[in-house]
Amino acid sequence: MAAAPPPPPDSCVIVALSGGVDSAVAALLLKEQGHRVQGLFMSNWEESEDDIWCTAAQDFQDARAVAAHLDIPLHRVSFAAEYRARVFEHFLAEHRAGRTPNPDVLCNREIKFGAALGYARRLGASHFATGHYARLTAGADGVELHKALDAGKDQSYFLHAVAPAELAATLMPLGSLEKRQVRERARRAGLPVFDKPDSTGICFIGERPFREFLERYLPRTPGPVESPEGERLGTHHGLAFYTLGQRGGLGLGGRPGRPEAPWYVAAKDAARNALVVVQGHDHPLLASTALTTGSWHWLGPAPAGALRCTVKVRYRQADQRALLTPLEGGTVHLEFAEPQRAVTPGQYAVAYEGTRCLGGGVIENVTAALRRPAAA
C-alpha cells in the first residue's frame, strides 16, 4: 500500500491547530520534514462568557503556545456562521424528526475539509493538514482513505463523506502512529500540550450534558414510555432527547412483577409520541438484520453489483460482515451476516474492504429482526 505522494520540500502546509496534542504533533512532524508550516485555529461555536463548558478560549491559548514553541505563524478564523448553517441546523432538524444525527461527519465535510481547506488555499497553502488518525494512500483510482494503524483511535468513519479531491490535498501525518507514540513525541519535543486530555465532545461544541444542551434549542414534548405490549411505564421528555439502545436517563427503576434488569430504548413511535423500552442489553427487539441508506457517498468508483464487505453502523463498533447492494437512485441496501444491535436512523453506515474505506451513507430504514407486538 503506497503512501499518497507527499508535497515537495519547502512547500507551504497549513495545519488545523486545535490546541490539542494530535494537531500539535502533526505540525511538529511536518516541520521536521522541511515544510513551511503554518497553523490555523478555528473557533466555530459562539459561546457566552459564562458558559462553564466553553473551552475555545483555553484551546486558542494552547494553540498559540504550540505555534510559539514551533516558531510557526498562527492564523485565527471563525466559521461559526458556516457551522450553524451547514452542520448545526441539520443536527437540530434531525433531532426534531426523532432521529439521531452524527454532526462530526458533516463537520469534517463542510467545515474542516470545506471552509477551512478553502481558507488555507487562499492563504497560499499547497496542502492542508490535520491531526486525524487515518491514512491516505495512492491507489489506481486516486487517493484512498484507509484506517489508522492504531485501531483504537482510527477516525476514518468520520471522514468517509469528504470528497476525494479534498483528501488529495490533505496530509494526515499521524495515521501510521499509535497514540502513545504521539504523546511521547510531544513530550520529547517539549510541546506544552503533551499531556492535555483528549476531547471527546460534539465537533466544535465540546463536552457538556447533552440533554440540557439540546433543550436550549428544542422544546420538550412529553409522552408515554411504554413496554412493547403497550404498558405505560413512565413519561419521557421528548423523542428528540433519546436514541435507540440508550440506557441512562429513562427514569425507570424496578417494576413490580418484572426482573431487576436495566431498561433500553428499543423504538420511537412518532405517530403516538411514545418511547418503547425493553429490558436487557441483548433484547431481540434491539436487533436488526438489514438497513437501507440515503444517498451513498463513494470514495472511489461505485461497484457494478453487490459486494461483500465489512461495515460500521456507529463509531468504535467492530467491523461487521455484510452484503452491500447498490440501489437505484444512489442508495444502498446492507444485509448483515449477523443481527446488529441498536441500528439507528440518522447515524451513518460506513463500508470497508480490508482497511480501505469505501464510503458511507445515512441510515434511513432498518429491518428489525423481530416484529414489535401491536400496542394495546
Could you tell me which residues are beta bridge partners of residue 363? 293
Longest pairwise C-alpha distance within the chain: 72
Could you say which of 12, 107, 309, 357 is catalytic? 107
Q: Could you tell me the three cell numbers for 199?
A: 476531547
Distance CA 120, CA 16 (A): 9
Distance CA 354, CA 181 (A): 24
Side-chain-side CA neighbours of 367 within 13 Å: the count stands at: 11
What phi, psi does 355 have (nearest 5°)? -90, -10
Find out whether 50 and 15 touch, Cβ atoms under 8 Å: no
**Which is it for the CA torsion 146, 351, 358, 345, positive or negative?**
negative
User: 362: which residues sit within 8 A by CB, 6+ positions away?
Assistant: 293, 294, 295, 345, 346, 347, 348, 349
Of residues 166, 133, 160, 167, the one with CA closest to residue 350: 160
Distance of CA 353 to the CA centre of its chain: 20
Q: If DSSP states are collapsed to H, E and C, what string results for 214-266?
A: HCCCCCCCCEEEECCCCCEEEEECCHHHCCCCCCCCCCCCCCCCCCCCCEEEE
Catalytic residue at 309?
A: no
Please give the single-letter amino acid code of residue 129. A
Distance CA 102, CA 310 (A): 20
DSSP 202: B
Tell how strand 348-353 and strand 274-279 pair up.
unpaired
User: 57: which residues sit within 8 A by CB, 6+ positions away?
Assistant: none
Catalytic residue at 107?
A: yes
Could you say which of 54, 203, 309, 357 is catalytic? 203
Catalytic residues: 107, 203
